[in-house]
Copies of this chain bind each other. A is one copy, B any other.
Amino acid sequence: MSDTETLDIGVLGYRFMGKAHANALARLPMFFPDAPNVRRHTLIGRDEDALADAADQFGFEQTATDWETVIDDVDVFYNLGPNHVHAEPSIAALDAGVPVFCEKPLAPTLADAARMRDAAANAEVPAGCAFNYRFVPAIRYAKQLIDAGELGDIHHVRGRYLQDWLVDPEAPWAWRMDNERAGSGALGDLGAHTVDLIRFLVCEHTGEIDRLSGQLQTFVDERPVYGTDGTIKEHRPVTVDDAYTAQIEFENGAVGSLEASRFATGHKNDHTIEIHGSEGSLKFSLERLNELSVLTGTNRGYETVLVTDEDDPYVDAWWPPGHVLGWEHTFVHENYEFLSAVAGGGPFEPSFATAYDVQVVLDAIEQSDSAGEWISLP
């Protein structure tokens, strides 16, 4: 570590996720004063001009185009690049003893994910996967309720992640539509969140997902690439799913339905989780992330709970009751937890091992779709 008090962070990726994590790092001191001190040390990317602008805006001290050199210089490595560059840099960093925080899904293929999991298992530093929705206060509160037995035995789980940014067939091609780079489409990008969240919430009680049936669908097979003048230069094939559904069964017999789409007209970032147990039920929607709908005890209907009280998870760090948080706060919370684990030497969840387990489910969904039959998970 470059000095005993401050963690130098190297970050690969400077677009959407780069901004989200840079913001989180910048906000820690004011809201989580017991978080480790961090320095936004090096921002890594390929396009030097764009990178320099981003580093300036995001408060990084320097930039680099070669991640390999950076690993030696930093205390922590954040891998926020496209899915196909998750494996090599992350493994290299872990092999060098540098803690890694990697965006989700862990990797485009199960094989890559396995290599990452193994590298993490051999390292003595935390390797975390940035499933940020675990860090929504309402989700943490939901887990508290479930763990306290307020829902009784879990019978039903439902997870759905709806977006609509591809419903227009003329929407431009992007790397997220390419199987080589993204691994999958809605399944990996959105479904990974759902699978992680559901496993986080219920698997201690239901056991693991035991078997599943998967369905992938691509509604538009190719998409235009636009030139800088706005004209279509070419069409490239869409080699990932636009949408998926899954039926799942847990070890205890609970059943579930999963779904995601980029064709759900009118839905921008609508991630919903619903759970029914023998004693209660709950519902969560990401577009109203400060709320949890809860039915427990003698309730006749769902309570719309605004999860912004002082004793709600993470809330005392922020504002008084009713002063709602936003999507970005989830990144502050996960960075706080991850960096605290790095500094304190403790474990961090979701780890690479946990993220690998998510990948097993995603892979089984693809397998099942190909085979047209249910798949039992290992």
Interface set of A (CB-CB < 8 Å, partner B): 16, 19-20, 22-23, 26-27, 29-31, 33, 57-59, 151-152, 155-156, 158, 162-165, 167, 213, 215, 217, 219, 243, 245-247, 249, 253, 255-257, 259, 261, 263-270, 276-281, 286-291, 294-295, 299-306, 308-309, 318-329, 371-374
A264/B156 contact (C-beta < 8 A), A16-B320, A247-B245 known = yes
Give chain B residues whose Cβ lies under 8 Å from the Cβ of A286.
322, 324
A167 to B302, CA, bound (A): 17
A322 to B294, CA, bound (A): 19
Of the candidates B163, B266, B288, B301, which one forms a contact with A266 in the assembled complex, judged by CB atoms under 8 Å apart? B301
Q: For the complex of A and B, list the 3 residue pairs with the smallest distance between their C-beta atoms, beginning with the closest.
A: A269-B322, A268-B322, A326-B326
Whether the Cβ atoms of B308 and A303 lie closer than 8 Å is no
Whether the Cβ atoms of B319 and A20 lie closer than 8 Å is yes
Whether the Cβ atoms of A269 and B215 lie closer than 8 Å is no
A58 to B157, CA, bound (A): 42
How far apart are A294's CB and chain B's nearest CB, in angstroms?
8
How far apart are A154's CB and chain B's nearest CB, in angstroms?
10
Give chain B residues whose Cβ lies under 8 Å from the Cβ of A318.
328
Give chain B residues whose Cβ lies under 8 Å from the Cβ of A19.
30
Q: A162-B276, A265-B279, A266-B295 are in contact. List 5 more A-B contacts (CB 8 A).
A: A151-B265, A245-B256, A246-B247, A301-B306, A326-B326
Of the candidates B23, B299, B305, B320, which one forms a contact with A30 in the assembled complex, judged by CB atoms under 8 Å apart? B23
Whether the Cβ atoms of B308 and A268 lie closer than 8 Å is yes
- In the complex, the count of this chain's copies comes to 4
Give chain B residues whose Cβ lies under 8 Å from the Cβ of A322.
163, 267-270, 286-287
Give chain B residues whose Cβ lies under 8 Å from the Cβ of A219.
155, 253
A303/B309 contact (C-beta < 8 A), A245-B247, A247-B215, A265-B277 known = no
How far apart are A285's CB and chain B's nearest CB, in angstroms?
10
Give chain B residues whose Cβ lies under 8 Å from the Cβ of A261.
155-156, 276
A320 to B189, CA, bound (A): 15
Whether the Cβ atoms of A325 and B323 lie closer than 8 Å is no
Of the candidates B59, B213, B306, which one forms a contact with A213 in the assembled complex, judged by CB atoms under 8 Å apart? B213
Whether the Cβ atoms of A280 and B257 lie closer than 8 Å is no
How far apart are A158's CB and chain B's nearest CB, in angstroms?
8
Of the candidates B249, B303, B325, which one forms a contact with A215 in the assembled complex, judged by CB atoms under 8 Å apart? B249
A27 to B323, CA, bound (A): 18
How far apart are A166's CB and chain B's nearest CB, in angstroms?
10
Whether the Cβ atoms of B264 and A281 lie closer than 8 Å is yes
Of the candidates B22, B156, B290, B327, which one forms a contact with A319 in the assembled complex, judged by CB atoms under 8 Å apart? B327
A318 to B57, CA, bound (A): 13
Whether the Cβ atoms of A323 and B328 lie closer than 8 Å is yes
How far apart are A357's CB and chain B's nearest CB, in angstroms?
22
A265/B257 contact (C-beta < 8 A), A247-B247, A324-B289, A324-B326 known = no
Of the candidates B31, B263, B277, which one forms a contact with A276 in the assembled complex, judged by CB atoms under 8 Å apart? B263
How far apart are A14's CB and chain B's nearest CB, in angstroms?
12
A269 to B309, CA, bound (A): 11
Give chain B residues whose Cβ lies under 8 Å from the Cβ of A268.
306, 308-309, 320-322
A278/B265 contact (C-beta < 8 A), A156-B243, A322-B270, A373-B372 known = yes
Give chain B residues whose Cβ lies under 8 Å from the Cβ of A26.
26-27, 30
- Closest residue of chain B to A261 (Cβ to Cβ) is B156
A245 to B22, CA, bound (A): 42
- Closest residue of chain B to A375 (Cβ to Cβ) is B372
